[in-house]
Structure 1
Amino acid sequence: MATSTVAKHYTRILALWPKDALRPNLPFTRTIERRALPYGVTPVSPPAEPTKSSSKTAIVEAVAPLKATPQEESAQINALYSLLENRYAKKYPISPDVLKPASNPEHYDRLMEEIERAPGKSWWSAKLDEWKMKIRWR
C-alpha cells in the first residue's frame, strides 16, 4: 500500500467516523488524525482547548507521531474499517436474553434512553437525575 493510498484511507475513515454525542470535546477522530498526520492527512476536528486537566494531553501531543511503513499501516486501517462496519457484532451476535436480564429486564432500555438524553442535559438536570438515582422510591 503506497503512502498516498494510506492517506486516502485515513481521509475516508475520518469522513465516515460517527460523531461522539456524549463526549464531543474528546472525539476518537483526534486519535485517528494523530496517526494519519505523517501521511499528509489534515485534521478535520478543531484542536482541543487547553484546560487544567490537559497536562497529560499536552505530553502526548509533544511526542512526535511515528511513521510506520505502509504495509504495517494497512493493519491499522483494516482494524478501523472493521470497527466502522461492525464486523465483530455481525460475526459474534449476542443473544437477546443478554440485553434483557431476568433480574432487571428494562435496564439496558433505560440506559439507552439516558444516553440519548445526555447530550441535551444541563449540569443542573444531570445533578438532579443523579440525586434521584440515590433515593429509593419503592
Structure 2
Amino acid sequence: MATKLGQQLRRLATEWPSDPLRPTLQLKTLLASLADHPRLTQSAVQAVRALQQNAFAKRLSVPEKILKPASMPQHYARLAEGYEKSLKGIGRPWWKIFFGVW
C-alpha cells in the first residue's frame, strides 16, 4: 500500500508547477522525497491532490471585504501585479519605492 501511495504522490509531484521566483526551492522536490517516507498515508496524498486541484478555493469563497480591506483596497491587486511584473523582470524604480507610489 505504501508503494502505491508513493507512486501517486510522485505522479502529483511531477505535475506540480515550478516556482519561477525560487528555482532552488521547489515544492515538487519535497513531495517527491516524501513519496519514499515509510509513514505516508492516504490522507496526505489526498491533501496534496486537493491543493493541486485548488479544491479549497473552489469550496470556500473569500468575502470581498477580505479581498479589498478598507485600509488598502488595492493591496492584493498591486501584489498580484508586482508578482507578474517580477516574473517578466520588470522592477519598480527606486523613486516609486521611496515615495510609496504605485
- In structure 2, the residue matched to 1:52 is none
Question: 2:14 & 2:100 partners in 1: Cα distance?
Answer: 45
- In structure 2, the residue matched to 1:133 is 97
- In structure 1, the residue matched to 2:46 is 78
Following superposition of structure 1 onto structure 2, how do residues 91-130 of structure 1 map, counting pairs within 5 Å? 91-121=59-89, 125=91, 128-129=93-94
Question: 2:33 & 2:69 partners in 1: Cα distance?
Answer: 40
Structure 1 segments unaligned to the other structure (5+ residues) = 39-65
Q: CA shift at 1:121, angstroms?
A: 2.1
Aligned residues between the structures: 101
Question: 1:15 & 1:86 partners in 2: Cα distance?
Answer: 17
Following superposition of structure 1 onto structure 2, how do residues 42-61 of structure 1 map, counting pairs within 5 Å? none
* Contact map agreement 2:19 2:26 (CA 8 A) in 1: yes
| One-letter amino acid matched to 1:12 | R
Question: 1:87 & 1:110 partners in 2: Cα distance?
Answer: 25
Of structures 1 and 2, the one with the larger relative CO (CA 8 A, separation 6+) is 1
| One-letter amino acid matched to 1:89 | A
Structure 2 segments unaligned to the other structure (5+ residues) = none
Q: Which is higher, the Rg of structure 1 or of structure 2?
A: 1
* Contact map agreement 2:13 2:29 (CA 8 A) in 1: no
Identity %: 28
Report the RMSD for the aligned CA atoms in angstroms: 2.3
TM-score normalized with structure 1 length: 0.61
